[in-house]
Amino acid sequence: MSPTRLVEVRQNVLNKNDLAARALRQRFEEAGVCAISMVSSPGSGKTALLERILTTMRERYRVAALVGDLATENDASRLARSLAPVRQIQTGTICHLDASMVGCALEGWRLEEIDFLFLENVGNLVCPASYDLGENARMVLLSVTEGEDKPLKYPTIFHSADAAIITKIDLAEAVEFDRTLAHGNIQAVRPGIRILEVSAKTGCGIEHLLEWISERRLHVD
Amino acid sequence: MSPTRLVEVRQNVLNKNDLAARALRQRFEEAGVCAISMVSSPGSGKTALLERILTTMRERYRVAALVGDLATENDASRLARSLAPVRQIQTGTICHLDASMVGCALEGWRLEEIDFLFLENVGNLVCPASYDLGENARMVLLSVTEGEDKPLKYPTIFHSADAAIITKIDLAEAVEFDRTLAHGNIQAVRPGIRILEVSAKTGCGIEHLLEWISERRLHVD
């Protein structure tokens, strides 16, 4: 297959996803759901952070989550401890969530009973960038252990995000994390983006993150 | 596009890669090159480890490396400090290396003057699993900071590897790394696989890794 043909095929798949994402976005809007997606490398701490978010937010809001993984239902089981409704999407060999997977996973849920719906993508800093999930906002996570250069090396996904969340900040000292360099690299790729630093383990920075998330809903109501 | 058609297209791309990989493998064999690839999440420490490997091995062997990244030539610049020949492959928006990219990047190099060629893939625990690069052996890296469950969540790439390298072992205590659990999960996905623990920072475990790498060459000569 020629590269041109491959690009065409990819384009068709993406166009199909854009249509599905548009339909999802309309459903979310009509039901008053604020959808927030999370993307990152494997192991950046999406699930740990999401558990903390769900546990804290469910005191004030009706929250739910869909979590994507190639295999296992580990994440959904972990998140079930938050007592929020959670469903796992097993993608098999597919390296990202797409809008139709999200649509199918919502089957049977009454959207109008959800204030915030979190969409945790498969751990991958490349492919999820291109797939609109109909979300209101996208958070990209970067752990302090991954290296400050990641935004420069994976610019597309940082560019597609509305906030950059630096995770595992409790390990910053142990890994000699260079905060100025990391912030500079994020801003170089996505000027003006909101950067928040958190630790799901200690709870540090979580309040500011929840504030940012809650503000996303103002755009929905 | 129907899912069936998408699978077909993917199959064609993979078949084309298999042909290119077969040709590469033959070139490597004829020239007496032992090619070793490295796959992992972004930020697992592939480049730091590769720098350590190149610097140490070039005292005894003729070593060279190709490093893949979406953007930037940062890795090649870092690795140039090892004084080994290194070239960067910029993949743009493509989330993995393929055999034809490797073939093109070798242009002008005299393969018979290389004993070990390292191929550092784009940071991604999903897509690179499916692309044979004509390598003699594949190392999958997992850093202690990523969580012990990664082999279960990304089984395909662990299953495609010949050795699992646990990196950043100097941080094991700080992140409360559960060695038994990690080893168990790796073995569950790929029974019998060689597991090595290293720290590119302190040098711990590097000797055993270099031994394992050197042994790969016995299969080449």
Mean pLDDT, residues B52-64: 97
Predicted local confidence at residue A3, as pLDDT: 59
Q: Quick one: tokens of A51?
A: 């558990």
Predicted local confidence at residue A117, as pLDDT: 98
What's the gap in Å between the CA of A47 and the closest CA on chain B?
11
**Using an 8 Å Cβ cutoff, are B141 and B27 in contact?**
no
**Using an 8 Å Cβ cutoff, are A136 and A36 in contact?**
yes
Contacts of B191 (CB under 8 A, 6+ apart): none
Disruptive mutation site among B11, B125, B130 for chain A (greatest number of A CBs within 10 Å):
B125
Predicted local confidence at residue B172, as pLDDT: 97
Q: Using the beta-carbon criterion (under 8 Å), do B124 and A122 form an inter-chain contact?
A: no
Size of interface A-B (CB pairs under 8 A): 119
Mean pLDDT, residues B44-73: 96
- Residue ranges covered by each domain of chain B: 15-218
The pTM assigned to this predicted structure is: 0.89
Q: Quick one: tokens of A187?
A: 């801003």
What's the gap in Å between the CA of B184 and the closest CA on chain A?
16
Q: What is the pLDDT of residues A197-216, one digit of tens each?
A: 999 999 999 999 999 999 99
Choose the closest CB to B153 out of A74, A146, A171.
Answer: A74
Q: What residue ranges of chain A have pLDDT lower than 70? A: 1-7, 10, 219-221
Question: Phi-psi bin for B158: left (phi > 0), alpha (psi -120 to 50), beta?
Answer: alpha
* Residues facing residue B117 across a β-bridge: B35, B64
Q: Using the beta-carbon criterion (under 8 Å), do A156 and B93 form an inter-chain contact?
A: yes
Q: Is B142 helix (H, G, I), strand (E, B) or coil?
A: strand
Q: Single out the residue of A167, A159, A177 nearest to residue A201, CA to CA.
A: A167
Q: At CB < 8 Å, which residues of chain B contact A?
A: 1, 6, 9, 12-13, 16, 41-43, 69-72, 74, 93, 95, 122-127, 130, 143, 145-147, 149-150, 152-156, 168, 171, 174-175
Q: What is the pLDDT of residues B162-217, one digit of tens each?
A: 999 999 999 999 999 999 999 999 999 999 999 999 999 999 999 999 999 999 99
**Using an 8 Å Cβ cutoff, are B153 and B185 in contact?**
no
CA dihedral B10, B14, B15, B16 (to 10 degrees): 110
Q: In chain B, what residues touch A168 (CB-CB under 8 Å)? A: 145
Predicted local confidence at residue A221, as pLDDT: 55
Predicted local confidence at residue A6, as pLDDT: 63
Predicted local confidence at residue A86, as pLDDT: 96
In whole angstroms, give the CA distance from residue A147 to residue B74.
12
Choose the closest CB to B154 out of A1, A70, A127.
Answer: A70
Q: Is B1's pLDDT higher than 60?
A: no
Q: What is the homologous superfamily of the domain B15-218 according to CATH?
A: P-loop containing nucleotide triphosphate hydrolases (3.40.50.300)
Q: Is B213 helix (H, G, I), strand (E, B) or coil?
A: helix
Beta strands in B40-178, from DSSP E residues, in sequence order: 63-69, 86-90, 116-120, 137-143, 163-167
Q: Using the beta-carbon criterion (under 8 Å), do B70 and A126 form an inter-chain contact?
A: yes
Beta strands in chain A, from DSSP E residues, in sequence order: 34-39, 63-69, 86-90, 116-120, 137-143, 163-167, 194-197
Mean pLDDT, residues B7-15: 73
Q: Is B155's pLDDT higher than 60?
A: yes
- Cβ-based neighbour number of residue B173 at 10 Å: 10
Q: Using the beta-carbon criterion (under 8 Å), do A71 and B124 form an inter-chain contact?
A: no
Please name the residue ranges forming H helices in A32-73: 46-57
Choose the closest CB to B122 out of A71, A72, A126.
Answer: A126
Q: Rounded mean pLDDT of chain A?
A: 93
Q: At CB < 8 Å, which residues of chain A contact B?
A: 1, 6, 9, 12-13, 16, 41-43, 69-72, 74, 93, 95, 122-127, 130, 143, 145-147, 149-150, 152-156, 168, 171, 174-175
Mean pLDDT, residues B62-69: 96
Choose the closest CB to B124 out of A126, A145, A156.
Answer: A126
**Using an 8 Å Cβ cutoff, are A144 and A169 in contact?**
yes
